[in-house]
Amino acid sequence: MALQKLTAIQVKKSKSGKYADGGGLWLVKRADGGGQWVLRVTVHGRRREMGLGSLEAVSLKEAREAAEQWRAVLRQGKDPIKERARLRREMTKGGNTLATVALEAFEARKADLKDDGEAGRWLSPLELHVLPRLGKIPVEEIDQQDIKATLAPI
């Protein structure tokens, strides 16, 4: 497997098309001059393509480093695309508090509610009884005991 076939000058001056750097790393150039880095891997007998970033944001060296990082994940028997998604979910885990999820649910249902929910019958009980106690806790960490303790006084 020949690695690192491309040079920085070739990357910059290449026309639209697909160019292999080796080891599954590809440069996909568009006619407008833009492009992106793609890592092609085979996971459990299925070919997958994983975007590594745009040509403007990721240099050839960075693309090679990222490709090697994800090939190492593949060698461990994991799907690099699923692993990256899992890591992203973990990074944003703190944003899934009960208050955030409740407000998102309210906004999603708002159009279905009478007067767009202005009467407050949907969200106000949550704001009054539940969110002061559980609002700052990530949804994944709330268990039955938390819910019971919150609703018992009501």
Structural contact between residues 102 and 123, judged by C-beta atoms closer than 8 angstroms: yes
Given a cut of 90, whether residue 99 has pLDDT beyond it is no
Rounded Cα distance, 14 and 34, in Å: 10
| Tens digits of residue pLDDT in 70-80 | 999 999 999 99
Rounded Cα distance, 119 and 110, in Å: 11
Question: What are the structural domains, with CATH classification, of the chain?
Answer: 8-80 (3.30.160.390), 93-151 (no CATH)
Q: What is the DSSP letter of 3?
A: -
For the full predicted model, state whether its pTM sits above 0.75.
Answer: no
Categorize the per-residue pLDDT at 101 as very low, low, confident or very high, splitting at 50, 70 and 90: confident
Number of H helices, E strands in the chain: 7, 4
Q: What is the pLDDT of residue 36?
A: 96
Q: Which of 7-11, 72-76, 94-98 has the lowest mean pLDDT?
A: 94-98
DSSP 5-36: ---HHHHHH--SEEEEEETTEEEEE-TTS-EE
